[in-house]
């Protein structure tokens, strides 16, 4: 395996000011694997679903190189379900309902073939579960990226801090970076978070782009202004999957290549926003991706010479 | 004159979660002129103050090439006063008090030497007053930039639409772009706003940067992540002043040069946030500015080659 990911595989009900998706396939590990599959042939997925989860979706994942030996299917049980409603700004949302269902029984046991994978993406989950996945990796992977959210900061900070100390890169949003560090300034907050263990911090700001901190440097990648944002669900996970997929493909961990990985992740995430659920992500071509990356290049490109005073 | 600006010259009372400035010099035209004075030697300022406005500040402006023949001083009256309180995120604020005072009597009469200036920056004011300034320009200036806010959209939309139709570049924030266009998507909103008259639209997003729309192109400039944001008051006006000051200096209206002007404006605005009021803006050197512009270059610089599928 080139990459192992753990996270939810789920059903979502999504309301936006512009439409509703009653029951669409979602989950962090779903988006992460799909995005990473753009760059990789062998991805191991660790998660759990009920037997209500559609076989055609599992086959589609397999067809894209996502190995499902690590996906437990529990007979007679229902898959994780999340329902949310986006505000008019489409950058914030309320959770309307969470049915954990099979997620309560997620006790990851990694297939033998997964344990030596060089790249690991720990999708947003109970930090204890994220740690269990790391425990089973041998040797220690070349790169581990962890995504989490405010829910775990509120409810399981000690466990979260423990697992954060073990990873290379942490991805959270700007409010979470402020919460985790206790600093309003993202610059000061990033310094505190990097002192907790990770070598790099990625701050995801949704429609406002993303920041990469590390090596006493900072890089900013914008989000592409889109004609229509239909549904941002999964954009953060798509970003993470594209980010680590690109790194696992290029095997280059320099700051310059991390910057490229951020751009690639941002480009893939922009597609996810264009339709409900995974609908857009599964239909894009390599050419679509190249065109979009070029749009990112154009979006921020400038040259400047200073004028004399 | 190289540039004429109209806007408030005022006192502010500013509360942030991190400090209070009881009575500090502010006002749109103050920030605009100071920022533009980095690039220009002859700026005409059109505004009104009471005789409470400090002569040393007026002399400081004159020393920087800001002509005050257009600044009316009303005897026995008080200058415009604004008090505001910033939220914890420092990106939004509440107005606590507005005393219009002399602003009620602002009826701009441009000195003869101002009328043929090639660049005009219409700072946020009653659109009827902005229009009066434009009426007195002869010949029509090479470039007119207009800044406004939601207050005028709520209270004087017809007058605002009239003056917007007469300018080259409109600068507003993202919420205002959505309000003015009735579109959630900034891409669609920008198209509608450009159809109202201006050739370019600058969407200011505070700590999230700025977007430039026009010529069917889009450019994004980030805001610099700062160690400490002390007071964002005047950042938007500083941006506008740096933007038009750079354009008036270089006399190049190409899209590529507009991009540079956005970066220069963003760099100057970042200084304004570092101290209360104009305190930081008046102390920076040419070297400080060059260093900061280089930080912007580094912040978004990346090179990417696509990997094969």
Q: Which residues contact A148 (CB under 8 A, 6 or more apart)?
A: A124, A127, A130, A160, A164, A170, A172, A176
User: Which residues from chain B sit within 8 angstroms of residue A18, using beta carbons?
Assistant: 184
Domain assignment present for residue A267? The answer is yes
pTM of the model: 0.93
Domain assignment present for residue B24? The answer is no
User: Which residues from chain B sit within 8 angstroms of residue A297, using beta carbons?
Assistant: 304
- CB–CB contacts below 8 A, A to B: 114
Contact call for B225 and A307, based on CB within 8 A: no
pLDDT band at residue A254, thresholds of 50, 70 and 90? very high
pLDDT band at residue A121, thresholds of 50, 70 and 90? very high
Distance, in angstroms, between B76 CA and closest chain A CA?
39
Distance, in angstroms, between A261 CA and closest chain B CA?
9
Domain assignment present for residue B270? The answer is yes
B18, B185, B298 member nearest A228 (Cβ): B185
Domain assignment present for residue B100? The answer is no
Residue B114 belongs to a domain with what CATH number?
A: 3.40.1190.20
Angle subtended at Cα B96 by Cα B95 and Cα B97, rounded to the nearest 5 degrees:
100
List the pLDDT tens digit at each of the 309 positions of chain B.
999 999 999 999 999 988 999 999 999 999 999 999 999 999 999 999 999 999 999 999 999 999 999 999 999 999 999 999 999 878 789 999 999 999 999 999 999 999 999 999 999 999 999 999 999 999 999 999 999 999 999 999 999 999 999 999 999 999 999 999 999 999 999 999 999 999 999 999 999 999 999 999 999 999 999 998 999 999 999 999 999 999 999 999 999 999 999 999 999 999 999 999 999 999 999 999 999 999 999 999 998 876 655
Domain assignment present for residue B55? The answer is no
How far is residue B218's CA from residue B190's CA, in Å, rounded to a whole number? Answer: 10
pLDDT of residue A69: 98
A39, A286, A304 member nearest B260 (Cβ): A304
Distance, in angstroms, between A129 CA and closest chain B CA?
32
Chain B residue with minimum CA distance to A40: B309
Q: Which of B41, B220, B265, B296 to mutate to test the interface with A (most CBs of A within 10 A)?
A: B220
User: Which residues from chain A sit within 8 angstroms of residue B226, using beta carbons?
Assistant: 185, 187
pLDDT of residue A164: 98
Q: Residue A179 above 70 pLDDT?
A: yes
pLDDT digits over A62-91, tens only? 999 999 999 999 999 999 999 999 998 787
What does the pLDDT average to over A2-30?
Answer: 96
The CB-based long-range contact list for A292-295 (8 Å cut-off, 24+ gap) reads: A292/A224, A292/A267, A293/A263, A293/A264, A293/A267, A293/B304, A293/B306, A295/A224, A295/A267
Contact call for A187 and B290, based on CB within 8 A: no
ipTM, 2 decimals?
0.89
Strands in A70-183 per DSSP E: 71-74, 80-86, 93-99, 119-122, 143-147, 169-173
Contact call for A188 and B227, based on CB within 8 A: yes
Domain assignment present for residue B145? The answer is yes
How far is residue A11's CA from residue A23's CA, in Å, rounded to a whole number? Answer: 6
pLDDT digits over A276-286, tens only? 999 999 999 99
Contact call for B227 and A293, based on CB within 8 A: no
Helix count and strand count (H, E) for chain A: 10, 14
Contact call for A219 and B300, based on CB within 8 A: yes
pLDDT of residue B89: 78
Q: Residue A306 above 80 pLDDT?
A: no
Domain assignment present for residue B271? The answer is yes
Contact call for B300 and A221, based on CB within 8 A: yes
Distance, in angstroms, between A189 CA and closest chain B CA?
9
Distance, in angstroms, between A235 CA and closest chain B CA?
17
Domain assignment present for residue A66? The answer is yes
User: Which residues from chain B sit within 8 angstroms of residue A39, using beta carbons?
Assistant: 307
Angle, helices A186-194 vs A174-181, to 10°: value is: 60
What residues make up the domain containing B211?
3-7+31-41+109-300
What does the pLDDT average to over A95-102?
Answer: 94
User: Which residues from chain B sit within 8 angstroms of residue A37, using beta carbons?
Assistant: none
Give the residue from B100, B110, B204 showing the smallest Cα distance to B148.
B204
Q: Which of A267, A302, A305 to mutate to test the interface with B (most CBs of B within 10 A)?
A: A302
* Number of domains making up chain B: 1
Whole-number mean pLDDT of chain A?
A: 96
Give the residue from B5, B176, B10 showing the smallest Cα distance to B78.
B10
């Amino acid at each position: 395996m080139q990459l192992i990911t753990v996270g939810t595989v789920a059903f979502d009900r999504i309301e936006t000011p512009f439409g509703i998706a009653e029951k669409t396939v979602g989950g962090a590990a779903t988006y992460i694997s799909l995005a990473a599959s753009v760059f990789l042939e062998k991805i191991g997925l660790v998660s759990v679903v009920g037997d209500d989860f559609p076989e055609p979706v599992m086959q589609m994942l397999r067809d894209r190189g996502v190995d499902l030996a690590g996906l437990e299917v529990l007979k007679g049980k229902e898959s994780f379900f999340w329902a949310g409603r986006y505000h008019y700004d489409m950058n914030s949302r309320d959770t309307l309902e969470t049915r954990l269902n099979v997620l309560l029984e997620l006790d990851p046991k990694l297939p033998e073939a997964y344990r030596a994978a060089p790249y690991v993406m720990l999708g947003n989950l109970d930090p204890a579960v994220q740690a269990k996945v790391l425990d089973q990796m041998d040797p220690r992977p070349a790169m581990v990226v962890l995504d989490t959210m405010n829910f775990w900061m509120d409810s399981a900070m000690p466990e979260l801090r423990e697992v954060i100390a073990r990873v290379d890169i942490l991805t959270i949003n700007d409010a979470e970076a402020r919460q985790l560090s206790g600093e309003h300034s993202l610059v000061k907050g990033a310094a505190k978070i990097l002192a907790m263990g990770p070598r790099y911090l990625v701050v995801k700001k949704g429609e406002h782009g993303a920041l990469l901190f590390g090596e006493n440097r900072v890089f900013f990648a914008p989000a592409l202004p889109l004609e229509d944002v239909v549904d941002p669900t999964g954009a953060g996970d798509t970003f993470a999957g594209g980010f680590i997929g690109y790194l696992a493909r290029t095997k280059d961990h320099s700051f310059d290549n991390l910057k490229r990985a951020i751009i690639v992740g941002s480009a893939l995430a922009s597609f996810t926003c264009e339709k409900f659920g995974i609908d857009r992500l599964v239909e894009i071509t390599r050419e679509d991706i190249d065109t979009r990356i070029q749009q990112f290049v154009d979006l921020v490109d400038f040259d400047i010479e200073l004028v004399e005073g």
